[in-house]
Amino acid sequence: MPIFDLSHPADLTAALFPDLLLMGGAMVLLLWAVWRRESAAHQRTIGLASIWLCVATLGAVLYMLFHQGHVTDGPIAADSFRFMVDVIVLLGTIAALALGIDDNDRMGTTTAETHVLMLLASSGMMLMAAARDLMIVFLGIELMSVSIYALAGLNRRSVRGAEGALKYFLLGAFSTAILLYGIALVYGATGTTGLYEIHQRVVELQLGSSPLLLIGMALLLVGFGFKVSSVPFHMWAPDVYDGSPNPVTAYMAATVKTAAFAAFLRVWLEAFNAEIGTWHRAVAMLAIATMVVGNTIGLLQRNVKRMLAYSSIAHAGFLLVAVAAGSMQGASAMLFYLLAYTLATFGAFAVIVVLSRGDAPVTTEDLSGLWTERPWLAVAMAVYMLALLGFPVFGGIGFFAKWYVLKAALQAEEPQIALAVTLVLTTVVSAGYYLYVIMVMFMRPRPANSEAVTPTPGWTRFVMVATAAAILILGIFPDQTVRYVVRGTPRLGAYVPPVKTAPARQAALTH
Amino acid sequence: MTHNELPLFYVFHVYFFGLVAMISAVCFVTRRSPVAAALWLVNTMFCLAALYVLLDAQFIGVMQVLVYAGAIMVVFLFVIMLLNLGHPSELDDARGIWWKLAAGGIGLAMLSQVLVLTKARLPESLVLPEGAIAEQIAKSGAIAPLAGPLFRDYLLAFEVTSVLLLAAIVGAVVLGKRKERGHAA
């Protein structure tokens, strides 16, 4: 068991090895991308190299997960929570890159640097998962967001794309300002940005009723609310998801949400753990509003991408239930949920990549009678829809994901009956649109004037088969999977005493 | 430290620059001409720089002028002129009356929030003793106390910022690059 003393640059580098591998690799790929003349083949090569870089990073992350050492209190954590989030983020990135290669062959919207931008966004997400300092949380969010602003606007010929990208950029900048103001106020109240130090100071100096801290926490909640697209901070999501290229939308809906929730949970459970009485009610209200609004408006959508956008808002509500539980069990339920949600979302968007033609949105009309023309595509879509719904057996791990969140809510120190009831009821409501998609695919006739569905490109097929298989197979062994994910959380609240007694920051503050 | 203990000179300048900064900020958001708005923003930046100097943060005050009022605003004006956005008549005012009311409401909320914050008392242990900053500056200058934490305690944040800037540049290039349809093989 290595011990990382984060005040030494060498140890800091070692503890950040997977992140640095991804960042450094992305820069090398950037040079390679601009070295050659732009061509479809070159772009494909860069895409493949990016996938391999992610696989290598995944290897490094898994190595760290199994050989994780102790770290001193510092800007980053090296616990299993971080590495489990990294695994989910990297799986999502690989899927998004794979879909991106195929989508570009078809639409020709992207340049070779696009893949690099996605890698940079992913390294920002990995930093968010690792961050134990509000400054690193903020920089991770910014690194992710700045890359995604550009990715969302890739499709510049499309008016919807431009509108969505601009909305995302403006609201993203606005929410960043709110988040930063919150961070500044928390720093003003506690004199530190370290998550654990904030917790210590709040307890020691009894800052619980300090207006600086309370307003700071409220602003942080609003800022994170924007980033995870919870109601009432969700207005941007449907337009942005609708206008962005399909692989980017999948990436935003699943992977960005994973990273945002990871940072959200860590800040809330590490820094404001003692204040749970203060923030719990607010998070629970957000969760209820998000579940109800996301699922009911989802019912009205006929554009499949918009429907999935509202579905992703609804899932943010389910994930907020896990945060509101405020326990380690809630944290592990959240990780498991994020894994299931990422797999199902990328699968569903792989189907959309196959079905989409040009700039026209994919509607439920395009799905009707898919069973008669492309049975396997319809079956795969059905699996993803059932997984998102949380249907037993055929929905694979989707069911267990909801089940564990429910369990975490009910077994929290203060059982969350209202949240659990809302979760179950809104899940029933969500069946209205998930099952509608399945009904349309299997029971409606294929419209006579519909064009033939294009053959599934290789990488998209790979994503569909891999996600569907993972959903179904992991659904057979949920206990093993969960036991594995639970490994990821117990260290979240536990701290290794610093190797050196006084970190430099505290010394600087006292003199 | 209460206001009574501060010299009148100091108090006067804090209020003077604070007031000018606020008026300039209001002008900045209400002007229709982008160039005029940008110049009001420059004025706000200058006043903030003066406030930083009054707070014993001379280095940050200088940086504020050099980086924000200087470099960034010049680039800003260049962009406005290059894109030929400088004519207010060509810009439709997209801000309807409800948006203005909403903005005013948010402004009032922020103001009341600031008023609440002025009531906040920091715990004694977090407040630096009086004259500590002046003593530090006398001992090692205004920049060294900033450089130490920046390159030691906040090294990681400093380095990540450079990656962030790289991502912003790559994003701008990706968006700016023209690519024709049907390029794919």
Residue A11 CB neighbours (<10 A): 19
pLDDT surpassing 60 at residue A504: no
CB A102 within 8 A of CB A458: yes
Query: How much is the average pLDDT of A267-290?
Result: 89
Residue of B nearest to A123 (CA): B163
- The pLDDT of residue B8: 87
Higher-pLDDT residue of A99, A497 = A99
Please tell me if residue A270 touches chain B, with a CB cutoff of 8 Å: no
A491: left (phi over 0), alpha (psi -120 to 50) or beta: alpha
Query: How much is the average pLDDT of A435-447?
Result: 90
- The pLDDT of residue A490: 47
pLDDT in tens, A471-496: 998 888 877 777 777 665 545 544 44
pLDDT surpassing 60 at residue A113: yes
Do B63 and B104 fall within a single domain? Answer: yes
Distance in Å, alpha carbon of B107 to nearest chain A alpha carbon: 13
Which of B117, B163, B179 is facing A215, going by the closest CB pair?
B117
- The pLDDT of residue A502: 37
Please tell me if residue A212 touches chain B, with a CB cutoff of 8 Å: yes
Rounded Cα distance between A181 and A170, Å, is 17
Rounded Cα distance between A510 and B123, Å, is 14
Residue A483 CB neighbours (<10 A): 11
Higher-pLDDT residue of A358, A341 = A341
- The answer to the question of residue B157 being in a domain is yes
Do B144 and B117 fall within a single domain? Answer: no
pLDDT in tens, A42-61: 889 999 999 999 999 999 99
Question: Closest Cα partner for A433 from A348, A356, A340?
Answer: A348
- The pLDDT of residue B178: 62
**Contact criterion met (CB < 8 Å) for A185 and B117:** yes
Rounded Cα distance between A158 and A98, Å, is 23
- The answer to the question of residue B133 being in a domain is no
- The pLDDT of residue A412: 83
Do B20 and B109 fall within a single domain? Answer: yes
pLDDT surpassing 50 at residue B6: yes
Which of B126, B149, B174 is facing A117, going by the closest CB pair?
B174
- The answer to the question of residue B43 being in a domain is yes
**Contact criterion met (CB < 8 Å) for B117 and A212:** yes
Establish whether the linkage from the previous residue to B123 is cis, with ω within 30° of 0: no
Please tell me if residue B157 touches chain A, with a CB cutoff of 8 Å: yes
Q: Which residues of B touch A109 (CB under 8 A)?
A: 179
Instruction: Provide the pLDDT confidence category of residue B88 given band limits of 50, 70 and 90.
Output: low
Please tell me if residue B112 touches chain A, with a CB cutoff of 8 Å: no
Q: Are strands A3-4 and A70-71 parallel, antiparallel or unpaired?
A: parallel
Interface residue of A37, A141, A143 to substitute, partner B, most B CBs within 10 Å: A143
Which of A153, A210, A509 is facing B175, going by the closest CB pair?
A153
The torsion of the CA quartet B91, B94, A225, A168, rounded to 10 degrees, works out to: -40
Instruction: Provide the pLDDT confidence category of residue A356 given band limits of 50, 70 and 90.
Output: confident
CB A488 within 8 A of CB A265: no
Query: How much is the average pLDDT of A411-438?
Result: 90
Do B116 and B164 fall within a single domain? Answer: no
Q: Output the average pLDDT for chain A.
A: 87
- The answer to the question of residue B162 being in a domain is yes
- The pLDDT of residue A112: 84
**Contact criterion met (CB < 8 Å) for A40 and B183:** yes
Do B72 and B159 fall within a single domain? Answer: no
Do B39 and B76 fall within a single domain? Answer: yes
- The pLDDT of residue B20: 96
Question: Closest Cα partner for A309 from A366, A260, A360, A348?
Answer: A348
CB A92 within 8 A of CB A254: yes
- The pLDDT of residue A499: 36
pLDDT in tens, A451-469: 788 888 889 999 999 999 9
Do B46 and B87 fall within a single domain? Answer: yes
pLDDT in tens, A173-225: 999 999 999 999 999 888 889 988 898 888 888 888 888 899 999 999 999 99
Distance in Å, alpha carbon of A511 to nearest chain B alpha carbon: 9
Residue in this structure with the two tokens 């061509």, named with its chain if needed: A39
pTM of the model: 0.90
Residue of A nearest to B151 (CA): A9
pLDDT in tens, B146-171: 888 888 888 899 999 999 999 999 99
Which of A16, A30, A110 is facing B170, going by the closest CB pair?
A30
- The pLDDT of residue B1: 46
- The answer to the question of residue B164 being in a domain is yes
Which of A27, A113, A149 is facing B173, going by the closest CB pair?
A113
Please tell me if residue B139 touches chain A, with a CB cutoff of 8 Å: no
Q: Which residues of A touch B160 (CB under 8 A)?
A: 127, 136, 139-140, 143
Instruction: Provide the pLDDT confidence category of residue B85 given band limits of 50, 70 and 90.
Output: low
- The answer to the question of residue B126 being in a domain is no
Interface residue of A146, A174, A193 to substitute, partner B, most B CBs within 10 Å: A146
What are the extents of the domains in chain A? 9-509
Distance in Å, alpha carbon of A103 to nearest chain B alpha carbon: 10
CB B161 within 8 A of CB A124: no
Instruction: Provide the pLDDT confidence category of residue B122 given band limits of 50, 70 and 90.
Output: confident
pLDDT in tens, B57-81: 888 999 999 998 888 888 888 888 8
**Contact criterion met (CB < 8 Å) for A140 and B174:** no
- The pLDDT of residue A506: 42
Instruction: Provide the pLDDT confidence category of residue B4 given band limits of 50, 70 and 90.
Output: low
- Number of structural domains found in chain B: 2
Do B91 and B148 fall within a single domain? Answer: no
pLDDT surpassing 90 at residue A138: yes
pLDDT surpassing 70 at residue A132: yes
Higher-pLDDT residue of B183, A311 = A311
Domain range enclosing B153: 139-185
**Contact criterion met (CB < 8 Å) for B167 and A149:** no
In A12-51, the residues whose Cβ lies within 8 Å of chain B are 12, 16, 23, 27, 30, 38-41
Which of B154, B155, B171 is facing A147, going by the closest CB pair?
B171
- The pLDDT of residue B131: 77
Q: Where are the alpha helices (DSSP H) in B119-184?
A: 132-140, 144-151, 155-176
Query: How much is the average pLDDT of B4-11?
Result: 80
Do B34 and B89 fall within a single domain? Answer: yes
Query: How much is the average pLDDT of A154-169?
Result: 85
Question: Closest Cα partner for A66 from A125, A2, A124?
Answer: A2
Do B114 and B58 fall within a single domain? Answer: yes
- The answer to the question of residue B88 being in a domain is yes
Q: Which residues of A touch B155 (CB under 8 A)?
A: 9, 12
CA distances from A203 to A107, A328, A492 (A): 55, 20, 18
Do B81 and B144 fall within a single domain? Answer: no
Residue in this structure with the two tokens 């996605």, named with its chain if needed: A118
Distance in Å, alpha carbon of A413 to nearest chain B alpha carbon: 31
pLDDT surpassing 80 at residue A241: yes
